[in-house]
Amino acid sequence: MVAWDGVTLLTTDRLVLRTFRRDDLPAYAALNAQPEVYRWLGGAPLSREHSDEIAEWANECVQAQGYGLVAVERASDGVLLGMCGLHHQESFPDDVEIAWRLAFEHWGHGYATEAARAWLTFGFDVVGLPAVISTTDHDNERSQGVMRRLGMTYDRRTTMVDDGQEFDAVVYVIRSDQHRAAEGSTEAPTMPPM
């Protein structure tokens, strides 16, 4: 049975990265129904049921492997901004992907970059990943901008499947040594006790 306990996995200056709680589900469903967001999710808003299933799956991944896609909460006021984390994307099961999804009103504030940067440091320094990919629709310039700010470089164009939807995508990649050089990172991030 999945836990809905909101366990904090990582923190940044402005963000708390934690598992989903049940009281997050309405706000998460609302962001998945925003036209600006669902445009990149197959072009149709997600149902509340489908949105809840994604949050449940995300919590299950964290329970099983210690990381996954988690809720992104603004530390100053507790507002749910969206989700971000590391996971295995169905089209690239051998790779670990960094991904994010934020409500439209929270775009343009650096939250996705800040959350993703913390997860990359965790992935490289704690999990010991050699590389991390990120994928998006080939027309999603905003997400590609986040990838470039993270130090990721364009790898290839491909066709991929996400949640049953096939689409033309681009893949960006960053390797452990590239991340450490870009971040000057030599220490692993601290994780609160579970």
**Is 94 part of any domain?**
yes
Domain membership of residue 95 as a residue range? 8-183
**Is 63 part of any domain?**
yes
Q: How long a stretch of residues is the chain?
A: 194
How many Cβ atoms are within 10 Å of 187's Cβ, its own excluded?
A: 7
Query: How many structural domains comprise the chain?
Result: 1
**Is 132 part of any domain?**
yes
| Positions of the chain with pLDDT under 50 | 185-194
Tokens read off for 184: 């000057």
What's the pLDDT tens digit per position in 109-160? 999 999 999 999 999 999 999 999 999 988 999 999 999 999 999 999 998 8
Tokens read off for 143: 């997400």
**Is 192 part of any domain?**
no
For residue 75, give the CATH number of its domain: 3.40.630.30
**pLDDT at residue 184 in the model:** 66
The amino acid that residue 156 corresponds to is R
Cα–Cα distance, 19 to 7 (Å, whole number)? 5
**Is 188 part of any domain?**
no
**Is 191 part of any domain?**
no
The pTM of this model reads 0.90
**Is 21 part of any domain?**
yes
**pLDDT at residue 129 in the model:** 96
**Is 190 part of any domain?**
no
**pLDDT at residue 58 in the model:** 96
Alpha helix (H) ranges present in the chain? 25-32, 35-38, 48-65, 111-122, 141-149, 176-183
